[in-house]
Amino acid sequence: MEKANLFAAWIGILLGFLVGAVQGLFFHSEDWLGGYTSWRRRMLRLGHISFFGIAFVNLSFVVAISYLRIERVYPLCSVLLVVGAIAMPLVCYLSAYKKVFRHLFFIPVASLIIATALFVFGGLLQ
């Protein structure tokens, strides 16, 4: 299962670079998407950084399993980390498009919290 997390990590890093490059073409304009503190621009920045942040969580998961030789890891943990890697930037960009999508943030947040709790209590503390 951890191969999926490794792929999710590197795909997230690649997407973070690509999206950052595209967004970077416009960031110099102070009034782009309503200015630096506008909802849209904040959601785009959050979506961009979430590619990297959750990629590093997935990468850390793979490294920890390997380094600590953890044999009993719940497959659900792996799946939920990948769900978080997909859902967080998706919800951020959807929320930038329409504010109503902000109500979906519970999906990536819950998946990441549950995955981390499963890993800590089911893998690291065993």
Instruction: Kindly report, residue by residue over 100-119, the tens digit of the pLDDT.
Output: 999 999 999 999 999 999 99
Average pLDDT over residues 9-26: 93
pLDDT confidence of 93, banded at 50, 70, 90?
Answer: very high
Structure tokens at 69: 């030789």
Provide the residue ranges of all domains of the chain, joining segments of one domain with +. 2-124
Per-residue pLDDT of 3-13, as tens digits, reads 999 999 999 99
Q: What is the band of 65 on the pLDDT scale with cuts at 50, 70, 90?
A: confident
Query: Residue 68 has which token pair?
Result: 């600590």
